[in-house]
Amino acid sequence: MREDRRLRRRNDTVREILDIALEVMAEEGVAALSMAEVARRMGMRPPSLYQYFPSRTAVYDALFERGMRETVDVLEPYRAMLSRDPRGALLAGQQSTVAWAMAHPVLAQLLYWRPVPGFEPTPRAFEPAVRQLEILRAALQAAVSAGQLSPAAAEEDGVALYTALMAGVISQQLANEPSARVEEGRFTRLTRTTVDMFFHFYAPEEGECDDSDLRGGRTPAADRP
């Protein structure tokens, strides 16, 4: 029980350190994080802070992991919609992701930009990013299987284009109108339009179908009356 209490206290302190680090980054800039300033606001000496995080890079790494895990949590509820309406699920998930980025601009910069020279997330911190990409691939493939997208949309170039478009929406909004409401932002309000553009570009051509059309007994478009 004493071990459990110590672990809880340590975890609480770690969360507080990260929260204060975000405050400092919001005020001074993402790349201007000062461990000494974090320690000062925590009311501890810098050597004590290093017992929790051995370096500034370790703080960035933990924040990157936190941000990516939160974005995955944002997307998870929409997976249940994929079997009914992949396009709707993709749009709803994207709108929620954009809203999260606007509510957490410091973390969004760390996730979608490279504001800290030389920083690379560790494999553990990057693992949720891999999970996020897997969710996107599954959503695109579901749209392909439903006949909403061409199979090319779920291939490497399609995934790369989709992520570039959405990261661009977030980056442009944060760079130009960071305090705007997500539904009114010059760029964030174009989220639906951006998704529509992607679906238009990768619209299935006549006669094109996914293998699941045949497995599920659906008739390819070219053979339909």
Contact assessment for residue 202 and residue 189, using Cβ atoms and an 8 Å cutoff:
no
Contact assessment for residue 67 and residue 104, using Cβ atoms and an 8 Å cutoff:
yes
Read off the pLDDT of residues 55-113 as tens digits, 9 standing for 90 and up: 999 999 999 999 999 999 999 999 999 999 999 999 999 999 999 999 999 999 999 99
Q: Given CATH 3.40.50.10490, say whether it is the number of domain 1-54.
A: no
Give me the pLDDT at residue 208, please.
59
Give me the pLDDT at residue 6, please.
85
- The domain spans of the chain are 1-54, 57-215
State how far the alpha carbon of 85 is from the alpha carbons of 46, 104, 145, 146, 218, in Å. Answer: 52, 28, 11, 8, 17
Give me the pLDDT at residue 206, please.
74
pLDDT of 213 > 50? The answer is no
- 213 burial via Cβ count (<10 Å: 0-12, 13-18, 19+): middle
The overall average pLDDT reported for the chain is 90
- Residues in CB range of 216: below 8 A, 6 or more apart: none
Instruction: Indicate the pLDDT class of residue 5, thresholds 50, 70 and 90.
Output: confident
Q: How many CB atoms lie within 10 A of CB 177?
A: 15
pTM summary value: 0.86
- Percent of the chain whose pLDDT exceeds 90: 85
**Domain 57-215, CATH number (from 1.10.357.10, 3.30.390.50, 3.40.50.620, 1.25.40.10):** 1.10.357.10
DSSP structure string for 163-200: HHHHHHHHHHHHHH-TTS-TTT-TTGGGHHHHHHHHHH
* Distance separating alpha carbons of residues 50 and 38, to the nearest angstrom: 11
Read off the pLDDT of residues 161-212 as tens digits, 9 standing for 90 and up: 999 999 999 999 999 999 999 999 999 999 999 999 999 999 998 765 554 4
